[in-house]
Each structure stands twice: as C-alpha cells, then as structure tokens.
Amino acid sequence: MKRKFDSGHSVRGLAVGILTRVQQENAYSNLLLNQVLQTEHLTARDQALLTQIVYGSLQHRLTLEYWLTPFIKNKKVLPWVYELLLAALFQLQYLDRVPARAILDESIKVAKINGHDGIRKFVTGVLHAILRQKLPNPQEIKDPLQKMSICYSLPIWLLKQLVKENGKAKTAAILKTINQPPHQVVRINQSYLSTAAAKQQLEAAGFMCEFSRLSPTSLIIKHGVASQSKLFSAGKLVFQDESAAQVVAGMQIQPADQVLDACAAPGGKTLQIADALASGSVTALDIHPHKIKLIEKNAQRCGFSPQVKAKCLDARQAIMEFKPATFDKILVDAPCSGIGLLRRKPEIRYRKTAAGVARLQQLQLELLASLTGLVKNNGILTYSTCTILKSENDQVITKFLNQHPDFKLLRKRTILPDEFDSDGFFMAFLEKTQD
C-alpha cells in the first residue's frame, strides 16, 4: 500500500504535500491552499510563508527545474522528493529573509519523516551542493525565446502567442506581474454596506486592507484571512478578483432585470448580479450538480436566495427550457484557457496546449449563438473570459457579429495583468437590435 505523505504539520511539509498533489493529481493549487489555510492552525506569518512557497514554486517552476537539473542529473527521484527540492530551491533563491540554514533544516526534516535514510542523505547532499556551487545562468541561453521561457517560466507555445499579440516588452511586463504572489481580494455586497464601511470594520477586527484601484466595490486584504472574518460569515463579502468584478459592473444591471448567468460556477458573478437586483432575479446555470449546490450555498450565505434561481443545465440547451426573449441581460462567462489567472492558478500554464485553446473557440461561439433567442430586443448579451488570448476574445466577438447581424458591439475591454496588478480579463457587451 502506498504510504500517504506526512506533512508533519510544518509549513515546508504542507507546501510539499500541496505541490505533490498539484503535479500528481492535476489538483488546483488555490483550492488545496485554501483548504489547508482553513484547517491548519497556522500563524499569520506561517500562512503567508506557505502561500509564498506554493505559488512561487509553481510560478517559477521552469526556472527552478533549469537550476536543479545539474544537481540530480539523470537520477530517478520520487515525486514528493522532487517537489521538496524545487520548493527548497525556490526559498533559497527568492526568499531573502529566510535563513538558508532554516530552509535546509526544515527540508531535511520533511525528507526524514517521509523517506528512508538514503532519501534523507540524498536531499541533504543536493541542498548542500546547491549552496556550495554556482547555479546555471539562464541568461546565457543563446535562443532568445528559450531564454525568455526559462526566465519567466512559460511554455514556448504560449510565450510565442503572447509576444505575437503584445510584443516582447509588454509580454515581459505581463509575465513579471503574473509571477508575483496573488492578492487576496474581496468584493463587498453593497446591499449591506459600503466598501469604506467594510474596510473600517475589517481594520477594527485586525485586518490590513486597501481600496482597489480598479473596482470601487473591492478591497485588497494585505493581512489576515478574509474567510475567517465576521463579514464573510455574515455574507457581506465575496472572494472575487477586482478584474472579474468589472464584468457585472459593465452590464449595468437594473433592479427589476431578469438576468441569465449561463456559465455561473463558482457563482461570484451571480452573487454580484443579485446584489444589484430588487424585484428582478438571476438564473444561474451550470452543467455540474455539485457546483449548483455551491452556488445555492453561497447565495444563502449572502442572503440572496430569493433573487437566485440555480439550475443544472447545459447553457446550449437553455433555448428549450425558457421562452424566447425572456431575459433583459445574459452573461456568458465562457469556459476558457484561464491564461489571465496564471498568478492565481500558476500550474495551468503547464497544462494548456495550443490545440486545446483552439478547440475552445468553437465552444465559446456555440454558447453565444445558442443564447441569442433568449435576449429581449435592446437587451444585452455579455461575453467574458479570464484569458488574455485574442483567439478566445476579440476573434470570438468578430466571428459572432459576422454571423449575427441582429447584434451590435457596444464596447469591449481587455484588462492585462500588469495594468492594475490584477487578474487578466476580457469582456464585450453586445446589444440585440432586432429579432
């Protein structure tokens, strides 16, 4: 029977456990990290260190592997040992305030708890060699794209696409931003209190936070875990990046609107829509029953159950469930590559492929086309993604408008990560002009 990894409840052990599951189980780092932060009794300092190690080790993975390769050569290394070495290397190279001796001691303890004496000696030897010897310098790589790929830890195919669309300098600025730790951002439900009042209450409870430069309803939490706040349990705040909040803000929801959130999970935008409604309602669709339950649970926590109707349904079948011209506003927050979320989900950069991204465009167009009959005349169809690739954004809108002359583009917006130090997002607002 395979032995379960033992974190020893230490920060390094917890980090290695998360990183190993991300690689071996295709799990998402943000979900695993949030779970650990809520269940382990860590100090605020240790929570911050754990977050740094997990995200940093993933964000800089190609760089770390480039450095580590000469020290392990062609040896077959257990997955958790490999992640342990990468995490230790990240700390040694990027965390100036953590003493090297502490990094080595704690890493060797993790090796001792989980492996035999040979593994402990191997880890000890590699880490001491890294301290003694000079690391290979990626700046000496002759091929410019290969050098950029290793330095910014981004697969070549994706790097080429970003450079093609944005140029080298802008791409470098984007990649520098997404390789920084993500902010903890919350949106305040304005039905309950203003953003300023929420900031005051959080600070009185010991949190440190600041206003968002991008979203007037958002706060950036600099210290403290917002999910442990009274405001969160009372449903007065929601975890949502400030870029994502711009989508619903741009929809200009009216109190009596009938709204369809066609691809609603995990429900952040559904809740934001509900926050703007009075006599109106929002119907939230998703194809996964467990995600529908999550939307309902969050709506209940926020006191929005009367406004939210959650239904398990493929949005492409919605035309058979609802009468034509039912909705004033429809939001298609489409399935996408998620390239705009690389700071928050750093591992996805290594999982996506050019072919996979190309296939997404067809699905995105199908979703938009299938919902055109449900929009009222002069109603708004909003398309949004959390990617910054034009093939999933501008090209989708251009093709849709060419195929549907009864819609016109009101406005569109791309938010690149380096502009506001936020997630990357795209949104387009389309008005139905006739049947």
Active site positions, annotated: 386
State the sign of the Cα–Cα–Cα–Cα dihedral 334, 339, 343, 347: positive
Question: 264 a known binding residue?
Answer: yes
Report yes or no: 13 and 7 within 8 Å, Cβ to Cβ.
Answer: yes
Question: 224 a known binding residue?
Answer: no
Question: 266 a known binding residue?
Answer: yes
Report yes or no: 209 and 233 within 8 Å, Cβ to Cβ.
Answer: no
Question: 333 a known binding residue?
Answer: yes
Question: 275 a known binding residue?
Answer: no
Question: 267 a known binding residue?
Answer: yes
Question: 226 a known binding residue?
Answer: no
Question: 256 a known binding residue?
Answer: no
* Rg of the chain over all Cα atoms, to the nearest angstrom: 23
Question: 286 a known binding residue?
Answer: yes
Q: Which residues are annotated as a binding site?
A: 263-269, 286, 314, 333
